[in-house]
Amino acid sequence: MSSWVRVEDIGAHEGEKVELRGWLARIRSSGKLHFMQIRDGSGIIQAVVTKQAIDPELFKSLKKLGTESSLVVRGTVTADDRSKLGFEIQADEVEIVSEAEGYPITPKEHGEGFLMDNRHLWIRQRKQHAALRIRATIMKAMQDWLDDNGFLRVDTPILTPAACEGTTTLFETEYFEEKAYLSQSGQLYNEATAAAFGKVYTFGPTFRAEKSKTRRHLMEFWMCEPEMAFCDFEMNMEIQEQFLSYVVQTVLEKRAFELDVLERDTEKLAQVKAPFPRITYDEAVERLKSKGVEFEDGNDFGATDETLLSEDFDRPIFVTHFPTAIKAFYMKPDPKNPARVLGADVLAPEGYGEIIGGGERIADLELLEQRVKEHELPVDSYQWYLDLRRYGSVPHSGFGIGLERTVAWICGLPHVRETIPFPRMLTRMYP
Ligand code: 4AD
Ligand code: MG
């Protein structure tokens, strides 16, 4: 009897007879031997099949077995210095579960469009696989840090009656007789749950109908959003730098193999430790101008501006005190200069741009009512939100970190489309 073992656990079974269940990644044959690369979802291992070991008919048919055919292989685990894994299988039983023919993704170069059309299969490929495993580790690290630091996960709704991040990027849908919008951010609800539980976070999909076809924009992306009562702008930034440093260091520790598959320069990641440098919006504008950028004061930064700003630093940076006019309605104006807000973005290093947006929220009822009107938001839909300022308002702050942009940066991937299993993009919703 051989027991079913996954490739990632194979090291604990040297010398034993085991069963593998997986798919054929590649096969190379030399007369009396087949070298089969078996992929089982947790890793890839070589199974060596000799002609004497199995039925001669089966041996012959294996040679023609198509890529991604599914199979069960039984054999003995032996040490093998030539493979990265350090082990291989001397197979003596092979069962074909389902034969695959004409698998569309081949070792030759494929165009991006073709690969995206075959995303449902492309996710089996080594690099895609590595990126998605790192994504899962990043999600877990984010949650672990928050859970261990007194935050309660409280989920926020996806169908909402009002906008959080401006009305221009809302996905509208019908809600029986009413209109509903897919959530752009869980923040407003987080502010309610923070008053109920003190420190909270939500982690889920968010939606933006952004007519932006860039390598940083998705229509559906995941956001982790912590929110804290009795927390000011400064404390908020300290939490962000601790949180992000933990996430990066955890990936370095737990996903070294996958980072290697992605050929990521991990020395750059090792530098990501708190504290992060801070520059104000006004200083950032000066920096851009001194680099020869023709920047119009008061504008938001574009992707190239963010790249230019981050290139002077070896770790993420905070850009603080943005102009009130270009930021969301809920941001607290700086008492020293109400034309600037107590909000900060985190820009990732190496040109990956903004990954976090956050800041202190307006706690004052009158000012918030005024902002809702100025932004031409439907006051009725925000009554519950205004209630939070009526009943025990406190200074509070929070932030949102975009998961896909964080994964792109940590993995060193050029485009967010490879950081999520099935990206929803401006011109693509298939598969
Ligand atoms: O800066 P944003 O719009 O901030 C908020 O939504 C706040 N309500 C969060 C909060 O304070 N709770 O978005 C936060 C982050 C961005 O920094 C970016 O990483 C990501 O969400 N993001 C996107 N990621 C991919 N595609 C898009 N279209 C994104 N829009 C924002
Ligand atoms: Mg932002």
Closest-lying ligand 1 atom to the alpha carbon of residue 346: 17
Ligand nearest to the CA of 217: 1
State the distance from the centre of ligand 1 to the C-alpha of 36, rounded, in angstroms. Answer: 44
Q: What is the pLDDT of residues 307-340, one digit of tens each?
A: 999 999 999 999 999 999 999 999 999 999 999 9
Give 207 Cα–ligand 1 centroid separation in angstroms.
Answer: 10
Q: What is the residue-wise DSSP string for 284-334?
A: HHHHHHHTT--PPTTPPP-HHHHHHHHTT-SS-EEEE--BGGGS-TTBPEE
In the numeric block, which tokens belong to residue 31?
Answer: 């007369």
Pocket lining: 221 vs ligand 1, CB cutoff 6 Å: yes
Domains, the chain, in order of start with CATH, read 3-98 (2.40.50.140), 119-418 (3.30.930.10)
| Ligand 1 centroid to residue 400 C-alpha, Å | 6
What is the reported pLDDT for 162?
Answer: 86
- Report d(CA 297, CA 318) in Å as an integer: 19
- For residue 2, the model assigns a pLDDT of 86
CB of 218 shorter than 6 A to ligand 1: yes
Residues 6+ apart with CB under 8 A from 30: none
Beta carbons of 309 and 286 less than 8 angstroms apart: no
Mean pLDDT, rounded, for 377-393: 96
Give the pLDDT of residue 153: 98
| pLDDT score, position 163 | 84
| Model confidence pLDDT, tens digit, residues 75-96 | 999 999 998 899 999 999 999 9
| Coil, strand or helix at 198 | coil
Measure the CA–CA gap between 49 and 189, rounded to whole angstroms: 58
Average pLDDT for the chain? 97
Q: Which of 411, 64, 16, 31 shows the shortest CA–CA distance to 247?
A: 411
Under 8 Å CB-to-CB from 347, ≥6 apart: which residues?
Answer: 306, 309, 310, 316, 317, 319, 353, 354, 355
Closest alpha carbon to 134 in 252, 50, 293:
252
| 249-301 pLDDT, tens digit each | 999 999 999 999 999 999 999 999 999 999 999 999 999 999 999 999 999 99
Residue 300 pLDDT: 97
219-259 pLDDT per residue, tens: 999 999 999 999 999 999 999 999 999 999 999 999 999 99
For residue 405, the ligand 1 atom closest to its alpha carbon is 19
Rounded Cα gap, residues 214 and 354, in angstroms: 13
Residue with the smallest CA separation from ligand 1 atom 21 is: 402
Give the per-residue pLDDT at 353.
Answer: 96
Q: Which ligand is nearest to the CA of 356?
A: 1
Mean pLDDT score, 29-49: 96
What is d(CA 259, CA 254) in angstroms, rounded to the nearest whole number?
Answer: 10
**Measured CA angle at 12 (ends 145, 253), to 5 deg:** 25
State in Å: Cα 153 to ligand 1 middle: 19
pLDDT in tens, 153-194: 999 999 999 888 888 999 999 999 999 999 999 999 999 999
Q: Which atom of ligand 1 is nearest to the CA of 219?
A: 28
